[in-house]
Chains A and B, each alone.
Chain A
Amino acid sequence: MRSISLYRDNGTWLCRVHPFTKLAYILAVILVPLLLGSLWAYAAAIVLDICILISGKSLRRARALIIFSFTIIVTIFLIRGLFDADNITPAFSLGPVVFYQEGLMKALRTGAVIINMLLSFSILVLTSKPEDIADELERHGFSPRLSYVIASVFSIIPQMMGTMDTITDAQRSRGMETEGKLSQRMKAFIPLITPVVTTSLINTRERAIALEVRGFGSKGKRSYLSPWKKHRGDRAMTIVLLLSIAAAAAWRLASWLS
């Protein structure tokens, strides 16, 4: 089955870490540099992200996730460096085009925010199974309906992608062109999307029935097949991470007050 989830169990310790610990890490690694405000804090965060990914043997796959952002970052450098309202000090020039220091520094900061965010999220995305995240949310008191929604997205999409190919074939068989002028391609959209939408909505009706007859609407207490195998240090790590946020916030507050 084609899955849209990027999770792979590569057997490293990172896959055993509780998803909530990873969420706490993301929160910390994004908030702490923001509170501290120093570019060095961002650099440290990015280095930390990379170290974790390397030890979890996932850096190569993470690279694929951030590469697309490079074009955005390049345009940010171009636009800020050339046109930013605060631009005063020229940094360098390429022929007639002059780049300014102030804009470039701003762009550097934005770029660091983007890279740090993408890397830290990729730790969660690459090493935690969505179904496990859903399951853990449910066990910690979130509605089973929420965890159902999360988990079922991952089974629905591959199913829909399978029908996509069949629908394209079926409409082409009836003489519909899917290539050519923009107007022609535009016209092809409705015959392609409508059957997927209608079929998937009709399927939801049957799926709702299947869930009803298996007691999904039942109000009673639920039970679970197996408890989460605790990773050593999950709790300690989470506490350290949350404390680091608190410490950074305290530092920021103190520097404001003084």
Chain B
Amino acid sequence: MAFIEIENLRYRYPKTERLALQGISLSIEKGSFLGIIGPNGAGKSTLGSAIIGLVPQFYKGAYGGHVSVGGKDAATVPVSEIARSVGLVFQNPFNQLSGAKDRVYDEVCFGMQNFGIPSDEMRRRADETLELMGISAFRDRNPFDLSGGQMQRVAIASILVLRPEVIILDEPTSQLDPAGSEEVFRAVEKLTESGITIIMIEQKIDKIAEYSDRILLMDEGRAIAIGTPDEILSRPDLEEHGIIPPAPARISRALSFALPDGTFPATQEAAVTLMEGRVGFRKDEKKGEAQASAEELLRTEDLSFSYTEGNEVLHGISLAFDGRPTAIIGQNGAGKTTLAKLMKGLLKPVSGRILLRGRDIAGNTAASLAGDIGYVFQNPDDQIFKAKVADEVMFGPLNIGMSEKEARKKAMEALEMVHLASAADRNPYDLDLHERKMVALASVIAMETSVLILDEPTIAQDDRGKTMISGIIKELAARVTLVISILHDMDLVASSFRRVIAMAHGRVLADGSPEEVFSKEEVLSEAGLELPHTAALAKKLGAEDILLSDASFLAAAFRV
């Protein structure tokens, strides 16, 4: 018998009607790496919670079938008992800190204290695990002062010290910036070498492809398929289940480079091995320069800012924005959010000025600018307060003086746009995080501002959500709304934006079309940015041009 045996597992959350899991059967052997993929709402996290017994013991609800972990029945053996052999790490790094300890070292020991592990052994394990996760340097810091990536590694360490046989990683990087994600993935790599059984739920398909022995594809509470990464990610029905195949698999399929077993390579490495020397690239002569559209909407002149005196975070930023959708990219701390908040009037510049259609905004409060400049915050839960989605979306329009009737009309149009019109009467907090993000987006779209600033719109979104956001950006651009977005998702930058501003250390490093910016290697390395996946593959295969989309890749590439 395998270490984890799941038989016909069915589960429904309390006060809901739909089964979140509709008959899952699965066995997981010790020492393997299982990746779980699927769209939001597929039941991935619920399955993870069922393995450790939180479903049904913590969530209650209705439960059927059988889950056995190392011979223990996960439905009845207390979670604290199962937790000795199964660990769980989830999305939000903040909420995984116990909250009772003010030193990283004590935080990591918290679980061991609960299990009564003697202090000598505690110290030995803690030292070893901090070292393994690369966080020894932070041992005396307050865990709440760490960055997301560091905090998430503390969370993993806090689980590892309990020496579980299985660790479940439930989208551990979905709320982190690229540098933080990279830190966590490096930690995960170290784990794979240690021989522990890993179950990882993840939207970042290239990472899943790289690490997994087997991948489980889930959709609507069902296990659609299980197999090797190449098998699963080559499936022709992947997109029907809300997963966009990784760039290497897409490109090699389009160019008909199959592996001997008929599947397509899921990782860049395998794709390069397969295609190297067998594709050539036509040089594109008529390089498309980014054309500025006629009307200038927003301008910053020599903008500088510091939160504390003598500690300048923005140094003399001068930018002019026209109607083109514009992405601002760069690592955390580059000054992107500060710049956005200045443009919205939430912060006041130390020097320089901001002009909206030629008029200085210095005298305006953020509230009085609400009708002109919209700002969608990263975390939707920082704004949602109404008991109904429609009321929430109407709040902004009513504040800027629309009539009740007009506000309702605009709200419904905006909800239509984010595909949530059917949820208008529901409680926003009964929706999932990715849907709440869409509610927050709609609540600002409904105000019909001429400038719309988005802060990380793709966090927590799956491939379907990202596609939807891409469509919304195009639609807004067609309405002559200037969309400015802070983004970490380079694939979306490549596919949906006509202008890219790369920032680092409070300065603009590059400003131009995506092709122009991504072709500047020194800028990418200074700003700590990576190429979008398609462009990265093209470059590895020897393309000289920056090929951002599958279409441009396939137009330029030919088999030799």
Contact = CB atoms under 8 A, between A and B. Distances in A.
Q: Do chains A and B touch in the complex (CB under 8 A)?
A: yes
B209 interface: no
A251 to B, nearest CB: 43
Contact of B381 (A158, A172, A178, A195): A195
Contacts of A191: 383, 385, 395
A174 B95 contact: no
Interface stretch (A11-19, A120-128, A201-209, A239-247): A201-209
Contact of A218 (B114, B118, B379): B114
Contacts of B381: 195, 198-199, 202
Dominant SS among interface residues on chain A: helix
A215 B111 contact: yes
B378 to A, nearest CB: 9
Interface residues of A, number: 55
Interface in B509-536: none
Contact of B366 (A169, A194, A206): A169
Indicate the size class of the contact surface on chain B: 35 or more
Interface string B353-397: 000000000000111101100110101011111000000000110
A213 B83 contact: yes
Given A170-B382, A176-B367, A225-B106, A212 B346 contact: no
A214 B346 CA distance: 40
Interface in A97-153: 131, 134, 144, 147-148, 151-152
B527 to A, nearest CB: 25
A167 interface: yes
Nearest to A164: B382
Contacts of B366: 169, 172-173
Contacts of A218: 78, 80-81, 114-115
A221 interface: yes
Given A1-B145, A203-B95, A225-B113, A172 B367 contact: yes
B52 interface: yes
Contacts of A172: 346, 365-367, 370
Contacts, number: 181
Contacts of A38: none
A209 B365 CA distance: 41
A209 B370 contact: no
B385 A216 contact: no
B159 A213 contact: yes
A174 to B, nearest CB: 4
Contact of A225 (B115, B123, B396): B123
Contacts of B100: 131, 134, 147-148, 151-152, 155
B17 to A, nearest CB: 21
B186 to A, nearest CB: 23
Interface in A201-258: 202-203, 206-226
Contacts of B429: 198, 202
Contacts of A215: 80, 83-84, 111, 114-115, 162
Given A169-B377, A209-B88, A225 B385 contact: no
Contacts of B478: none
Given A134-B100, A167-B382, A209 B58 contact: yes
Contacts of B14: none
Interface in B80-138: 80-81, 83-84, 87-88, 90, 92, 94-102, 105-106, 109-119, 122-123
B399 interface: yes
A158 B88 CA distance: 26
B265 to A, nearest CB: 36
A214 B162 contact: yes
Residue among A152, A190, A217, A219 with most chain B CB within 10 A: A217
Nearest to B387: A194
B382 A199 contact: yes
Residue among A169, A177, A194, A221 with most chain B CB within 10 A: A169
B110 A175 contact: no
Contacts of B87: 213
A166 interface: yes
Contact of B119 (A163, A202, A224): A224
Contact of B102 (A155, A178, A203): A155
A55 interface: no
A190 to B, nearest CB: 6
B175 to A, nearest CB: 12
A174 B58 contact: no
A218 B82 CA distance: 11
A1 to B, nearest CB: 5
A156 interface: yes
A166 B98 contact: no
Contact of A159 (B94, B371, B396): B94
A69 interface: no
Given A155-B97, A203-B95, A214 B159 contact: yes
13 contacts: A173-B370, A174-B396, A175-B396, A175-B400, A195-B381, A195-B384, A210-B155, A213-B79, A216-B80, A218-B115, A225-B106, A225-B122, A226-B119
Given A173-B366, A209-B54, 19 more contacts: A170-B377, A172-B367, A173-B344, A175-B367, A176-B399, A177-B365, A178-B367, A198-B429, A202-B429, A203-B95, A207-B95, A213-B83, A214-B162, A215-B162, A216-B114, A218-B78, A223-B117, A223-B119, A226-B119
Interface of B: 52, 54, 58, 78-81, 83-84, 87-88, 90, 92, 94-102, 105-106, 109-119, 122-123, 142, 144-145, 155, 158-159, 162, 341, 344, 346, 365-368, 370-371, 374-375, 377, 379, 381-385, 395-396, 399-400, 429, 443-444, 447
**Which 5 pairs, one residue from A and one from B, show the smallest C-beta to C-beta distance?**
A175-B399, A175-B370, A214-B111, A194-B385, A215-B114
